[in-house]
Amino acid sequence: MLSRDSKKHSIAKSIVVYSTSNLYVQVMSLLNSFIRPRLLGPEMFGLWNLLNVFITYGSYTHLGTRSPIRYLLPYYESQNKRKEVETLKGTIYYSTFCMNLIFIVFIIAYSFKPGLDLTTRFGFLITSLIVLITWYNEHYINLLRGYQNFILISKANLIRTTASFVFSIIFIYLFGIYGALFSVVLALITSTLYLKLQQVIEKHHSFNMAVFIENVKMGFFIFVFNIITVLLLTCDKLIISYLLDNKQLGLYGLAVAILTPILNIPSISREVIEPKLMEQIANSSTERNIDEFFIKPLMTSAYLMPFLIGPAFLVLPFFINIFFPKYIQSIAPAQILLIGSYFLALSYTFRGIIIANKWQNQAIPVMSIPLLVNISLSIVFIKTGFGINGVAFGCSVAFLLLTLFSFIYISRKSKYFLTAISPKVIYLLIPFTVMCLNIYSLNYMNYIFKNSEFLNEYIIIFIKLCLFITITLMTILYAHKKQQLNLNLNLNKYLKKFKR
């Protein structure tokens, strides 16, 4: 048995290892997301995006039954309730397998749809295998989360990500889209085998319908809340695939791939903030939790996101021209999505306070409206000839509505929030307005210096970036001076040193 000090050390070590592995996974995933489009080309990369949507949906077939294991398994273990532990694990194992199997049968049936070419047909069949292996891998990792073995999870994630990167380079180069799919299969198998070698989990024997129903009740609303977010981020790809073609989906897929690393930073911040909020929810007042875990992160995201979006927007045409010349048509939708991502990043801060206060069941209809708007606008814009640019615009409008409706919803649920946020609303509007005006003005530099003999493209981009960052910094300092943004900037201290 671990002593109290050794447990503290174990927890600290787990946090460091888990955080480091997440950073590595993010970097490698970013590299992978740019290797695939370059090696596959727009049409096959479009097919990859379509199949990847089905893989993503496969992870959400559990109807929320997996969520309680993170809380109930440690509790039962601490009470030495072995029977309850085995019943919980067996029920989750068999229920998630059956629901996953239904989805796999659907994918296999769809692969025989008349009119599909042979490549797409085989792609869906391999996807069904990926969904099955992913189910088992995720079940294993979910159990390890319940046992709080985050170090083993971290190592498995490192192995899977590294294997996926290496296999992707080799097999996509040799076998194209089939290689891309088989690299996922091999990476999953490698990760799962490593887990089984490191920690054998005994076979599950029991299934209890009452436990299954209780698990669904506990996790269903959080599940629906999460699945709506996933649908909001993926429905546009399905619509493009159905109404246009794989090439257009591939072009749009690169735009989304560029967006992903931008959104990873607020997403990681959310993963840090939400557990702290859950820990403090019972011990602190609602007012303090709203101030500390919602308003402060909201203001911080509002002012720091332009640092990520603006430079990416300005550099994007140059970047795609150099590294992805086949994807020139991806520039416009990528830039539109980058602007819209500002609102999606803000919406991340709303999730924690909604779930912590158990408001997610009432919030589901509110979140459904942006999803329906996204679907409707995407279809309308494609039908009227705006193509993937129109889809990107519709998606950005949906992100705006998601943030706006979430803002209104929380204002109605908490009078304190409305009182606290009202003086800050004008300051919430400033960073987005300045960012858009900044980008709009700097884009005209291309026309001003187009025929200059002294400034080449690299120097112009550098000047634009410097100007954008300077203006954004001035905006942040203004908000800090007005005490609307607390970044712990001890400016007086540095000014005194400078004077000396």
- How many whole angstroms separate alpha carbon 42 and alpha carbon 498? 53
User: Which residue carries 């990760």 as its tokens?
Assistant: 191
For residue 210, the model assigns a pLDDT of 87
Using DSSP, state whether 388 is helix, strand or coil.
helix
- DSSP-H helix ranges across 79-176: 82-111, 118-146, 150-175
- How many whole angstroms separate alpha carbon 337 and alpha carbon 330? 11
**Can you read off the two tokens belonging to residue 101?**
């199997």
- Torsion of the alpha carbons at 434, 439, 443 and 444, rounded to the nearest 10: -10
For residue 221, the model assigns a pLDDT of 76
Is the CB of residue 381 less than 8 Å from the CB of residue 393? yes
- How many whole angstroms separate alpha carbon 152 and alpha carbon 194? 9
- Report pTM: 0.86
- DSSP-H helix ranges across 41-81: 42-58, 69-78
Query: CA separation (Å) from 165 to 96, 172, 176, 186?
Result: 28, 11, 15, 11
For residue 5, the model assigns a pLDDT of 39
Is the CB of residue 50 less than 8 Å from the CB of residue 246? yes
Select from 20, 24, 46 the least CA-distant residue to 257: 46
For 438-463, b/e burial (b = at least 16 CB within 10 A) is bbeebeebeeebeeeeeeeeeebbee
Select from 321, 254, 333, 334 the least CA-distant residue to 37: 254
For residue 275, the model assigns a pLDDT of 58
Using DSSP, state whether 283 is helix, strand or coil.
coil
**Can you read off the two tokens belonging to residue 229?**
């977010």
Count of CB atoms within 10 A of residue 479's CB?
Answer: 22
- How many whole angstroms separate alpha carbon 75 and alpha carbon 300? 36
For residue 84, the model assigns a pLDDT of 82
Select from 111, 144, 139 the least CA-distant residue to 125: 111
Is the CB of residue 347 less than 8 Å from the CB of residue 399? yes
| Rg of the chain in Å (alpha carbons) | 24
**Beta strand segments in 3-55, E:** none
**Can you read off the two tokens belonging to residue 314?**
């300005």
Compute mean pLDDT per 10 residues along the chain, 500 residues long, and list them.
38 63 79 90 96 94 81 76 84 92 96 94 97 94 81 88 94 95 96 86 76 82 83 94 95 92 73 60 70 82 92 93 94 96 88 76 86 96 96 96 90 83 86 94 75 73 91 90 68 46
HSE on the CB side for 128, CA within 13 Å? 17
**What H or E segment, with its residue span, contains residue 274?**
helix 246-280
- Torsion of the alpha carbons at 181, 186, 191 and 194, rounded to the nearest 10: 170
Query: CA separation (Å) from 320 to 126, 255, 331, 337?
Result: 31, 10, 7, 15
Query: CA separation (Å) from 2 to 10, 45, 76, 82, 383?
Result: 9, 50, 18, 20, 64
- Is the torsion defined by CA of 388, 401, 294, 434 positive or negative? positive
Count of CB atoms within 10 A of residue 469's CB?
Answer: 15
- How many whole angstroms separate alpha carbon 345 and alpha carbon 327? 26
